[in-house]
Structure 1
Amino acid sequence: MSTSATTSYQPATEFNPITINSFKAYDIRGELGVTLDEDIAYRIGRAFAQILYQRYHTVSDSQSSDMATLQPAIVIGSDIRHSSEQLKQAVIKGMLDAGADVIDLGMTGTEEVYFATSHYQALGGIEVTASHNPINYNGLKLVKDQSKPISADDGLAEIQALAESGEFATNISPGKLQLLTDKSAYINHVMTFIDTDKLKPLKLVINSGNGSAGPVVDLLIDKLIQAGAPIEVIKLHHEPDGSFPNGIPNPMIEANRVATQQAVLTNKADLGIAFDGDFDRCFLFDEHGKFIDGSYVVGMLAQAFLNKYPNEAIVYDPRVIYNTEAVIEQHNGKAVISKSGHSFIKQVMRDSGAVYGGEMSAHHYFRDFFYCDSGMILWLLTIELLSITSKTLSELVTGYIQEYPSSGEQNFHLTTLDAPTIIQAIEEKFSTQQPTKSTLDGLSLNFGEWRFNLRASNTEPLIRLNIESRGDAALLATKIQEIQQWLALQGAVPA
C-alpha cells in the first residue's frame, strides 16, 4: 500500500527550554504523561530530523559516496500500544516541520524499521515502542543511515540537547508524508535466510504476546506453506491488542512463559516460540516445554553459522562465555567479544565482518540483515536447524547445558550502596584468589573452573549477575549461594 497521508498532531507555536528525562543509553523510554508525551515526542522528532539533515547536507556537499546514494527521507513505524499511534503522529509532525520527507510504515516491529531504513536508503528510522516495559510506558528506538544505531555518545545526546532547547531551524519548507505499509520486501528478505526445501514436518507453538508480531508471523507462515513446507502452527495470544489482555509480552519473566510451555505440552509440539512486544527478541522452548536460556541459543546458532560459513567471526557478549567460546573454537570460528548492548554489538560486528552476533538477552544479529537484530530470522533458522539435523531442540542444547551450566541472569535492586561501590567491593573480596579480570562490561572474574560477571543495567536501576562453571553443577550452586548471600549483606535485594 502506498498513499499520501497527513498527521493530526498540532504542536505549540513557541518552544521554551525544558528538561527531557526519557533519554537512555541507547534509546528513549519514559512514563506516559510524566517523562514522555506528544509534545516531547514532537520535539524529539524535529530534533532528530534536523540533525540528520544537517549531517546529510554537510556530508553530501563533500561528495561522500555513502551519503550520495541516500534519499532525504526518514522511515517510522509503531507497535500496537494504545499510545504509540498518537506519539508517532507527533514525531512525524516534528520531522515534517524540520523539512524531512517521512515514510510511515504503519504498525511494525522494530526490525521492520531496521529493514526499511536500509531498503529505502533512508537517512534514518524510528520505531515507537516500549517493547517489554509496563503498559504506562512508551519510547523511541532510533537508527541512522544504513540502519546504524544511535547511542548517547553518537548523536543521541545531541538530539536531546536540541529537543530540550527548542532552538529549531525556522523558515523550513515542510516535508512530505507517504504511507507505505506493504511488508513484502521485508518478508522476502527474511525468507532468504533459510532453504525451505530442507524443512521437515514440525509442529510449532508461536506466542505473539498480543504484540506486533502476529501479522508478520502470518505472512511468514503463508510463505512457508506456499513453498510446501510441512509446518503446523498453533498460534497463541496472536491478535495484536494494545491492552495486552494476557500480560505484557516479556518472556524473560518466568510467569509469562507458562502459557507457551503448557501449549507445547498440550499440543505435543516440537518447538515453542515467544516474542516480546516489538519482536526484536525471540525466545525458544524445547519439545518438553523447557525455556532455553539465551546463551545456549547463541552457541547453537554460532555452530549453525560456522557449519555454513567456515572460519567466520562470531560476536558475543561477556556475561556468559564458556559455551559460546568452546563452540567457536571447536568449529574453527573467530571469537570476538563485545560489550553488551546493541550499539556495541553492531559496531563490533561491522568492524570484524562477523556473520552472526548473539546476546544472552535473546538479541540475535545477522550480517545479512544489515548487522541488526531480528526475532523472526531466529525462529526460521531454528526450524531449519531442527530439520537439517533431525534432532530435537533439547538434543541440540542439552550437551551445552551439561558441559557449561549457568545461573541465568539474576537481577538485584540496590538499597544502600551504588553499583560501582558493590563492583569494587566484590573485586576486593575475591582478589586473594587471583582470578583473571575483565572490565569490558562491568566486572568479570574468571577462576578457571567457574566465573561470574556483575554489571549495572544500562536501562534500569539494577545490578545483574551471571555465574557459570565448566561442567560442575555443584560448584555452580555453591557459588550462586555464596554471591547471593554476599550481595544481600550489601543491600542488594533480588528483583
Structure 2
Amino acid sequence: MQPIEITCFKAYDIRGQVPSQLNDDVAYRVGRAYVEFLGAKTVVVGHDVRLTSEQLTNALVEGLTDAGANVIHIGQCGTEEVYFGTFHLGVDGGICVTASHNPMDYNGMKLVKKGSEPISGDSGLNDIRAMAEKGNFVEAASKGTVEHKNIRPDYIEHLLGYVTPSDIKPLKVVVNSGNGGAGAIIDGLESHLPVEFIKVHHEPDGNFPNGIPNPILPEKRQATIDAVKANNADLGIAWDGDFDRCFFFDENGEFIEGYYVVGLLAEAFLIKNPGAKVVHDPRLKWNTIDIAEKAGGQAIESKTGHAFIKERMRLEDAVYGGEMSAHHYFRDFAYCDNGNIPWLLVVELMSKRNAKLSELVADRVARFPCSGERNNTVGDAKAIIGKIEEFYSPDAKAIEKVDGLSMTMDGWRFNIRSSSTEPVMRLNIESNGDIALMEAKTEELLGLVKKYDV
C-alpha cells in the first residue's frame, strides 16, 4: 500500500471527521497495523450506533483478518462491552468503533490489548499509527476468520455480580440513553431487578434526533430532569453515546456533580472491601479523601485521564477509581471504565440506607461545596497559569503540579489546567464547608483568567 498521512490519532484513542480524516482505507490500515504490532491472534470488535460505524467496522475487520487474526464480532455495543469481551473471552485485544459524544460527522476507535489494558500514545498507539501510515504490511500465511457472537447475556450476569438484587428496593428510575446504546443494557437488566424504568430517548438511533448525547453539558440534561419530575421518580440516570459515562439526577431533578458520585462509589466499595485503596483525580479531592479515611480506606491521587487512572489502579491494586467527569473504573472490570456499575451501586446504597439520593449527597455537598468545572477559551494557557500561581503563592499552604496547577489556601483550594485537545482552560474550586467563600473565589479566579488572557 502507498504511504499516507493519518491525522485522526489522538493521545488516548482515534477520533476524526468522516471521511476526511477517518475512512475505510484508514480503518483497514489500523486493523493491519494493530495485529502486526501486537501479534494478536484473536480480537473482539464492536461498534456504537453512529451511522458510519458499521461500515468502518467492516473495513477494520477486513484489515484484522487480512493480517491473519480471527475476529469475534459482537455487533452494536458500548465500549464497556468490548472491554468485557476482551477480558472475559481471554483474547489478545479489542477495538470499539465509536466517537462517544463527538459531533455527527465524527467517528473513532478505542483500542485495548490483552486483559483490556489501554493502548495509548505511550503504549503503542503511535507505533500503530506509524505502521498504518507506511502501509508496508507483512502478508499473513492465511486470512483470519470472523465469528459473530452475542456476549450480552454474559455481560448482564457480570453486571449483576456487583450488587445483591434482593437488597434493592422497588424504586422508580428514569433512564435516558440519548438514543445511544445504553438502552439495550437496561432492557437486559430489567427482568433481574425490582425497578420500574421510565425510558427516555431509549431506542438507538444514529441520526440522534434529540442531539448528540453528552449530559455533562447543562443543555443536554432537560429531558431527564423533566421526566424525573413528571413521573415522581426516585432518581434519573443519563449516558453518553457509547455509555462509558453515566450522570445522576436526584428525586427533585437536580443534577449531581460527578465529584460527589465519586465519593458515593468510594464509600460503597470500602463498605464491601474494608481497608482498600481508591484512586481519584486532582481536580476536586477533599470529599473523596475524607470519605476514604473515615471508612478506613486509602485515597490515592492520579493525573487526570483514563490511561493514567488505569495505570495507577493496577499499580496500587485499587478497588475503584473515579474522575469527576463521570468516568468510573473498577478493579473487577479489568480496571476499565463502566457506565452501568455506578448506578447499580448507587441504587443499592439508596436501598440499604433507606435514603433518597439527595440525602446521600447533601451532607457531602455542604461539607465540601464545589464550583463544578468552569471552562474558558483562552490564548496562552501556560502564561495564564504562571501568573495565577504567582498571584496566590504568598498565601498558598501547598502547591502541586500533578495535573495542571493545584493550590491549597486557608479553607479552600483550586485546580486549573489546560485541555490537551482544545484551547480551553478548566477551573475547579472547592472549600471546606464555606459556600460563600467557594463562590467568591470562583468569581475571583474567573476574573484573573480574563485579566491575564491578553
**TM-score (structure 2 length as normaliser):** 0.98
Q: Is the 8 A contact 2:96 2:109 kept in 1?
A: yes
- Shift of the 17–448 alpha-carbon distance from structure 1 to 2, 3 Å rule, reads farther
Give the superposition deviation at 1:171.
4.7
Stretch deviating more after TM superposition (386-395 or 179-188): 179-188
- Alignment deviations for residues 405-456 of structure 1 (CA, whole Å, 9 cap, x no partner): 1110111212x32x32222222122222234111111111111311111112
Choose the corresponding residue for 2:179, options 198, 201, 210: 210
Residue 23 (structure 1) aligned with residue 9 (structure 2)? yes
Q: Is the 8 A contact 2:275 2:296 kept in 1?
A: yes
1:389 alignment counterpart: 353
Q: Distance in 1 between matches of 2:311 and 2:416?
A: 23
Residue 263 (structure 1) aligned with residue 227 (structure 2)? yes
Stretch deviating more after TM superposition (442-451 or 420-429): 420-429
- Paired letter, 1:320: L
1:88 alignment counterpart: 57
- Alignment deviations for residues 22-44 of structure 1 (CA, whole Å, 9 cap, x no partner): 11111110011221111111111
Residue 176 (structure 1) aligned with residue 138 (structure 2)? no
1:424 alignment counterpart: 386
Residue 323 (structure 1) aligned with residue 287 (structure 2)? yes
Choose the corresponding residue for 1:79, options 48, 69, 72: 48
- Alignment deviations for residues 325-369 of structure 1 (CA, whole Å, 9 cap, x no partner): 111111110111111111111111111111111110101111111
Number of residue-to-residue matches in the alignment: 454
Q: Distance in 2 between matches of 1:184 and 1:459?
A: 37
- Alignment deviations for residues 445-478 of structure 1 (CA, whole Å, 9 cap, x no partner): 1113111111122333322111111111111111
Kindly report which structure 2 residues correspond to 1:141-160, keeping only aligned pairs within 5 A, or say none: 141-160=110-129
Kindly report which structure 2 residues correspond to 1:483-494, keeping only aligned pairs within 5 A, or say none: 483-491=445-453
Choose the corresponding residue for 1:469, options 431, 434, 454: 431
Residue 350 (structure 1) aligned with residue 282 (structure 2)? no
Q: Which runs of 5+ in 1 are unaligned?
A: 1-14, 57-71
1:8 alignment counterpart: none
- Alignment deviations for residues 101-146 of structure 1 (CA, whole Å, 9 cap, x no partner): 1111100000000000001111110111111111111110011100
Q: Distance in 2 between matches of 1:180 and 1:458?
A: 37
Q: Distance in 2 between matches of 1:428 and 1:49?
A: 49
Q: Distance in 2 between matches of 1:458 and 1:123?
A: 30
1:65 alignment counterpart: none
- Shift of the 171–275 alpha-carbon distance from structure 1 to 2, 3 Å rule, reads closer
Choose the corresponding residue for 2:414, options 443, 452, 457: 452
Give the superposition deviation at 1:97.
1.1
**TM-score (structure 1 length as normaliser):** 0.90
Q: What percent identity do the matched residue pairs reach?
A: 52
Q: Distance in 1 between matches of 2:101 and 2:48?
A: 11
Q: Is the 8 A contact 1:97 1:172 kept in 2?
A: no
Q: Distance in 1 between matches of 2:114 and 2:231?
A: 44
Q: Is the 8 A contact 2:85 2:151 kept in 1?
A: no
Stretch deviating more after TM superposition (455-464 or 245-254): 455-464
2:336 alignment counterpart: 372
Q: Is the 8 A contact 2:177 2:240 kept in 1?
A: yes
2:33 alignment counterpart: 47
Choose the corresponding residue for 2:85, options 98, 113, 116: 116
Q: Is the 8 A contact 2:213 2:239 kept in 1?
A: yes
1:196 alignment counterpart: 165
- Paired letter, 1:216: I
Give the superposition deviation at 1:295.
0.5
Q: Distance in 2 between matches of 1:432 and 1:491?
A: 22
1:69 alignment counterpart: none
2:20 alignment counterpart: 34
Q: Distance in 2 between matches of 1:280 and 1:95?
A: 25
Residue 129 (structure 1) aligned with residue 93 (structure 2)? no
- Paired letter, 2:322: G
Q: Which runs of 5+ in 2 are unaligned?
A: none
2:267 alignment counterpart: 303
2:373 alignment counterpart: 409
Q: Distance in 1 between matches of 2:58 and 2:452?
A: 46
Stretch deviating more after TM superposition (422-431 or 175-184): 422-431
Give the superposition deviation at 1:232.
1.0
Q: Distance in 2 between matches of 1:467 and 1:18?
A: 45
Report the RMSD for the aligned CA atoms in angstroms: 1.2
1:12 alignment counterpart: none
- Shift of the 46–196 alpha-carbon distance from structure 1 to 2, 3 Å rule, reads same
- Paired letter, 1:136: D
Q: Distance in 2 between matches of 1:376 and 1:401?
A: 24
- Shift of the 353–157 alpha-carbon distance from structure 1 to 2, 3 Å rule, reads same
Q: Distance in 1 between matches of 2:35 and 2:192?
A: 36
1:220 alignment counterpart: 189
Question: What secondary structure sits across from 2:178 in the alignment?
Answer: coil
1:66 alignment counterpart: none
Q: Distance in 2 between matches of 1:376 and 1:391?
A: 20
Q: Distance in 2 between matches of 1:302 and 1:183?
A: 27
